[in-house]
Amino acid sequence: MEPKTASLNLHADDILEGAVAIAEYLFGSRELRRKVYYLAETSQLPVFRLGSVLCARKSVLAGFIKGQEKQPIRLLHLRAQIVALTGTIRQLERAGFDTSETRHLVAGAGRS
């Protein structure tokens, strides 16, 4: 049974629990926890929830960062704009506007 216990500890060491822990890991400052919440809410950060606690794996974050480093900076800006537009579209939908055509245009831009 000991190998299972060692395996569980290895996985536990890889998990960051809470926005403060994630901010310290990514940015070296617990004061940037709001940035972590924003990035998580806009799907720009690979995180998950355990109940109400925001969590991330160090190994997944490291892989995510490596992937970001390989992308051209212009593409990153375009993706950020698409994410912002998607948030605006959601707000318009909540207000009762028909956004089907706009969603189609944003979806097409995301494939480019």
Domain range summary for the chain, segments of one domain joined by +: 1-69, 71-112
Token duo for residue 92: 């318009």
- pLDDT tens for residues 18-63? 999 999 999 999 999 999 999 999 889 999 999 999 999 999 999 9
Segment (H or E) for 77: helix 73-94
Going by C-beta distance under 8 Å and a sequence separation of 6 or more, which residues neighbour residue 64?
A: 45, 46
How deeply is 94 buried, as exposed, middle or buried, from its count of CB atoms within 10 A (0-12, 13-18, 19+)?
A: exposed
Whole-angstrom CA distances from 35 to 24, 27, 40, 100, 112 are 11, 10, 8, 30, 27
Full-model pTM = 0.57
Token duo for residue 80: 């950020």
